[in-house]
Amino acid sequence: MTLPPARPPRSTSLTGPVWLTVSGVVVLLVALGVGIGVVVLLVRTASSGVLTMDGHVGSGVIAEVDAPGTGTVELEAGERYALHLVTPGYGDDADLLGDVELTSPSGDTVDVDGSPAVHMETTMGSWHAESVAAFIAPEDGVYDITVPSADVDDARVLVAPDQAFAPFFAGIFGSVLGVFVAIGLGMLGLGLTIGGIIWWVFRSRARREATA
């Protein structure tokens, strides 16, 4: 009489479960890192540098003029600049009641009716900023700027370098792609971690039964 072959002993090694669980945790940490990077990239891309989080003038602003009001601003030849109308509250319907006048150091009038490469609209604190015009400085030097009245009180115009479209688009596209990468890595890491823990539980149970 031939006896059936004996069943091989159940493996009690925890090496596989430990490696699987650790791998899952590492992937989750990578996903978290990617997510943080996406948030930082998105904030940097979306931030116009015109207003700070509390509504004050941002670091990208080179001149501030009340509406109505006059002022001066130093510009570089060939550089493109944008004008941002800042109004209290959300100010979605606010507008200037005329054209901004800009005079070059040599006395020539500069057209400021161009469209910004990237239309920015931001609400920070109790202030709303929206890009309304753009221009290219024809020469280096100090320019005179005259801002008309706005159809709301306490309005002002900020002058800042215009954002280039290509880096802005690359930042937005990279942020969207990073979101999908972070989600994919998170799901993979979660699956590996859960699978490793379940496997770990079964191996630990087998080990206890083997030593009972």
Check residue 210 and give its pLDDT: 67
Tell me the mean pLDDT in the region 133-159: 90
pLDDT at position 38: 75
At 202, is the pLDDT very low, low, confident or very high (cuts 50, 70, 90)?
Answer: confident
CA dihedral (105, 107, 109, 115) in degrees, to 10, reads 0
The per-residue pLDDT for range 65-123, each reduced to its tens digit, is 998 899 999 999 988 898 988 888 755 677 888 888 999 999 888 988 767 766 777 77
* DSSP 8-class letter at 7: P
Helix crossing, 15-46 with 165-211: angle to 10°?
160
Higher-pLDDT residue of 51 and 153 is: 153
In terms of pTM, does the model score above 0.85?
Answer: no
User: Residue 168: pLDDT band by 50, 70, 90 thresholds?
Assistant: low
Residues 164-174 have a mean pLDDT of 59
pLDDT band at residue 204 under the 50/70/90 scheme: confident
Question: What amino acid occupies position 125?
Answer: G
Cα–Cα distances in angstroms (integers) from residue 172 to residues 34, 38, 44, 126, 168, in the given order = 15, 10, 10, 26, 6
Residue 51 per-residue DSSP state:
B
pLDDT at 115: 72
Q: In the predicted model, is pLDDT for residue 46 greater than 70?
A: no
Q: Specify the pLDDT at position 98.
A: 86
